[in-house]
Amino acid sequence: MLKAPPLSVYVHMPWCVRKCPYCDFNSHTAPTSIPAEKYIQALIADLEHDLPLVWGRPIGSIYFGGGTPSLFPASHFATLLSAMRARLDLRPDVEITLEANPGALEHDSFTAYAHAGINRVSLGVQSFSGERLMGLGRIHGSDDIDRALQSLSAAGIANFNLDLMYALPGQTPAQARHDVKQAINAGPAHISYYQLTIEPNTAFAAKPPVLPADDAAWDMQQAGMDMLAAAGYGQYEISAFAQPGMHSRHNMNYWRYGDFLAIGAGAHGKITLPADGVVRRYAKHRHPQRYMQGAEGGGWLAEKHVVTDAELVFEFFLNQLRLKGGVNIDDFGPRTGLQWTVVEARVQKAIDMGLLAVFQQRVRPTDLGWKFVNDIQQLFLP
């Protein structure tokens, strides 16, 4: 039987200084002056409109993603967060994350963002090498990273993540290891370590760079994981590593198939409606100009649909199988409204193949299964 799971809020800030050639997110090159005030008012109006979906449900995390949210001055986050506090039931220990880019912090220091209510930062470092950053088309250099880390330290924000990529154009395994070492030395609570992939409809897809060979990329992945483990960063998801207790609560809610209220241009949400017996997905208008037309333009919503039973099964396994802790059998019924018997044969097939094992109400990928998570996920395709 469907039950409302934990609820988070995702807020999309859609502008970047310029588009990175590997990026397939909903990010738009910022105009000379961002219409920040107008956008924040549109976010508040959009939130207001969505409130009936989540009356009375406590919020465990808020995530400002993008785009580059740090292009907005801290005062705008203070306005938005106070509007959210007035309208939503934020838990006293709510996690509030700001995605920031080292080259886009000219507006404010992290102290100003902390005063506005931000208590966690995710910094898009990607690499500490100036040459690799140029190859990625990033706007920042290693000096910008140093300045951002100093600003974090001055703000007393210890709960921060560094995004780090490997298998970059021209990168050697030794250079990738050096990047991981520098990331560890910066002392973050959390590190996201993930491989550069070429996504369709990006500049890199149109003109692919030369990437390291598969065996070199494998070395980088394994060496990076070993170094992170040795430094006390436990892997809890395919690309996520954290010091004890410092996992991203917001991302954990995604991976555990929780609910998300989504506001902002192109934001995607998922809301469980137990009274109607359905899980709904929806998306807001992608283009910032269209989004900001808001109520006068016919609203913020671009599309919504009820998730079918077959999609619920796939989405549940797609997400929970990413976690080292595996799939929580007790979550399945409340989050999909379906009986476990619907998936038993497929789970058994993966167990027979040696890819999954059952342990204390959890179905976990085995050591072998962890290498073939994509294949296991495909067993649950609609």
135 near ligand SF4, judged by CB under 6 A:
no
CA distances from 30 to 13, 17, 35, 67, 199 (A): 11, 5, 10, 9, 22
Give me the helices (H) in the chain, please: 36-50, 74-87, 110-116, 130-135, 142-155, 173-185, 203-206, 214-230, 249-255, 288-293, 309-320, 329-336, 341-352, 367-370, 373-378
Q: Is the peptide bond preceding residue 67 cis, with omega within 30 degrees of 0?
A: yes
CB of 71 to ligand SF4, least distance (A): 10
Helix (H) or strand (E) holding 65: strand 58-66
**Nearest distance in Å: CB 265, ligand SF4:** 13
Query: To the nearest whole angstrom, how small is the minimum distance from the Cβ of residue 227 to ligand SF4?
Result: 24
For residues 67 and 365, which CB has a smaller minimum distance to ligand SF4 in the complex?
A: 67
Q: Considering only residues 272 through 291, tell me which ones interact with ligand SF4, judged by CB under 6 A.
A: none
The binder of ligand SF4 chosen from 8, 61, 97, 101 (CB under 6 A): 101
Tell me the C-alpha distance between 253 and 90, whole Å: 15
Q: In the complex with ligand SF4, which residue's Cβ is closer, 61 or 70?
A: 70
Report the alpha-carbon distance of residue 2 to residue 276 in Å, rounded.
10
CA-closest candidate to residue 185, choices 246, 126, 228: 228
Number of residues that bind ligand SF4 (CB under 6 A): 11
Q: How far apart are the first and last CA of the chain?
A: 20
Over the window 56 to 95, marking each residue x when it contacts ligand SF4 by CB under 6 A and - when it does not, the resulting string is ----------xxx---------------------------
Nearer to ligand SF4, 5 or 66 (CB): 66
What phi and psi, each to the nearest 5 degrees, are found at residue 93? -105, 30
> Residue 201 Cβ, how far from ligand SF4 at the closest point, in Å?
13
Q: How far is the CB of 4 from ligand SF4 (least distance, A)?
A: 31
Identify residues 1-30 at the interface with ligand SF4 (CB under 6 A).
16, 19-20, 23, 25, 27
Best CA proximity match to 324, nearest among 250, 382, 379, 247:
247
Give least dist CB 329 to ligand SF4, A. Answer: 36
Convert residues 25-44 into a mask of x (bound to ligand SF4 by CB under 6 A) and - (unbound): x-x-----------------
Strand partners, 278: 273
Nearer to ligand SF4, 25 or 218 (CB): 25
Question: Environment class of residue 80 by beta-carbon count within 10 Å: exposed (0-12), middle (13-18) or buried (19+)?
Answer: buried
Angle at 255 between CA 327 and CA 78, to 5 degrees: 150
CB 11 → ligand SF4: shortest distance, Å? 14
CB of 165 to ligand SF4, least distance (A): 10
Residues in touch with ligand SF4 (CB under 6 A):
16, 19-20, 23, 25, 27, 66-68, 101, 124
